[in-house]
Structure 1
Amino acid sequence: MPPLHDRLTRAAVGEDSSKPDHVGHRERLRLRFRKAGPDGLQDYELLELILFNAIPRRDVKPLAKALLRQFRTFADVIAAPRDQLLSVRVEQEGRPPLKATERVADEFAMIRAASLQFQMANVIDRPVISSWKDLLSYCRSTAAYEPIEQFRVLFLNNKNALIADERQQTGTINHTPVYPREVIKRAIALNAASIILLHNHPSGDPTPSRADIEMTKQIVAAARSVDIAVHDHLVIGRGETASFRSLGLL
């Protein structure tokens, strides 16, 4: 129970002193968010707002802070693999441990899905030249936090508008097998006029490897044979993106 002077203070301002501490905290934090938006809250407080839905009757601040200690940033927490999330727990004397549950992992997954849908809406059916910044933001969201390499292809129509984004292959932590014939076969099936290649480096360093360069040459040659242009190959790291075209590799 809160100290007597805290309960008297709450009674003086009309708060219900019978409510547990965390209930009043949740109400106050939501009010701050409504008034100030996300810029008015610390990262752990934004995580608390999300955790409220998954853990309804506990003070979730210790868990929010534990998640940030484990994964370092808000974005890394939201993008953390489910099995790693479920391993986070905070021991509390006299109470059951406070844990990242399946419901917590579901909440984070829904936020990721909503974010991707929102960003996709900014780029789909729009010419990539006029929406390049939005396209890069979308690409980073899809790939930057993946724990293993994945190879994606953005398919464009004859007006350079995005018509599809598809994951072609998933590999290991530092390698993804890519088959140029399958990439071109899919481009033809979608009636794409051009493509943008995309893959991530889980290490965080987006510098293209020799294998990346050689694979890109093979895809460019295969695409040229059927009159499909390869506009770029983007390598996504944690904070940076490497462009083959900008690097003079394409």
Structure 2
Amino acid sequence: MTRRVALVTGGSRGIGAAVAVRLASEGADVVITYARSAERAAAVVTQIEAAGTRGLALEAEAADAGALVAAVERTVAEFGRIDVLVSNAGIAPYGPLEEVTLAEVDATLAIHARASFVLAQAAARHMREGGRIICIGSSLAERVPYPGWTLYAMSKSALTGLTKGLARDLGPRGITANLVHPGSTDTEMNPADGEEAEEERRFSALGRYCDPADIAATVAHLAGEGGRNITGTAVVVDAGTTA
């Protein structure tokens, strides 16, 4: 991925940070967005630069469409191009169906579905042949094994239609679009030593959590030469939860 430029949203922690550092290790210059912690984002940029590539952190709320478009434009202005987009920023709404508010519905769809569409649209205006668009979904879009996740599953399922549509729209230009569905992954949002962790392990065929590096490895494959003929599909990395 030498001389390629990647933009990873929600890149200051968890899966996003792992993806950013992995792409840098493979030679890409990487821009990340963050919503709150400039200090943590700066630490990720330091790791990116330690790999010998260029890094940049931009503040951008995933629910702010204007900020997302600006992040794409800034990436192109600073680095001259954008080759890889990883739409990763997300939230994890959870609770009884009867208690979900319309405000929560709107916020979740804005951060997961609308943000991914806006980013893809903005990036596609600049991408050349060989471009890659990768959304981070969830294994809960494939299987919902317990109650309380209806809104989250619905919002992540929307990325399936987006991915298939992008593959058709951008395929003639040699640009691929794919979706990666992580299962239970050891992050601050869902730590492997959390209250629900043992139950989540029981749902997986391998009986374990994924590591953010597992997700990053799959993203790197799709973003690299090995992913050139993979488009319009979802890859599930979930230790067999959806088996």
Q: Same fold (TM over 0.5)?
A: no
Q: Which has the larger radius of gyration?
A: 1
Give me the TM-score of the superposition, normalised by structure 1: 0.30
Higher relative contact order (CA 8 A, sep 6+): 2
* TM-score, normalisation: structure 2: 0.30
